[in-house]
Amino acid sequence: MGQDNWRKLLCPKCKQLKSTCTCSTEPSVPSKSTAIRVGRETKGRRGKGVTTVSDLPLDENGITELATKLKTRLGTGGTVKDGRIEIQGDHRDRIIQELESLGYRVKRAGG
């Protein structure tokens, strides 16, 4: 019994005391575990609205690069705003396809 309690204090990864180990503070591969959210927004916008791509596991340069790639592939306009991509029109299916072909995990959000 006493040994089980003792074991709970140890990190299962490095076998060090949890209070001293650094495993939990290290970033845990966010790019693989996080799914990109692809949604649509029509509120306050004229016409078809925009397709939004958020929760991107990329830095600002990466996001801008991806936005350019998507705009080129879809032949439509778009912007990068607050760390997310907005593509003009409803292109969710195409964008999900493109992102998946690039190796990203994608989650469709909203209706």
> DSSP letters along 38-71, please?
EEEE-TT-STT-EEEEES-SS-HHHHHHHHHHHH
Q: Return the residue matching tokens 């409803």.
A: 90
Closest CB to Zn ion among residues 21, 58 = 21
Please count the other Cβ atoms lying within 10 Å of the Cβ belonging to residue 70.
Answer: 21
Min CB(57)–Zn ion separation in Å: 24
Q: Which stretch binds Zn ion (CB under 5 A): 6-14, 33-41, 54-62, 64-72?
A: 6-14
Binding residues for Zn ion restricted to 9-38, rule: CB under 5 A: 11, 13-14, 21, 23
Residues that bind Zn ion (CB under 5 A): 11, 13-14, 21, 23
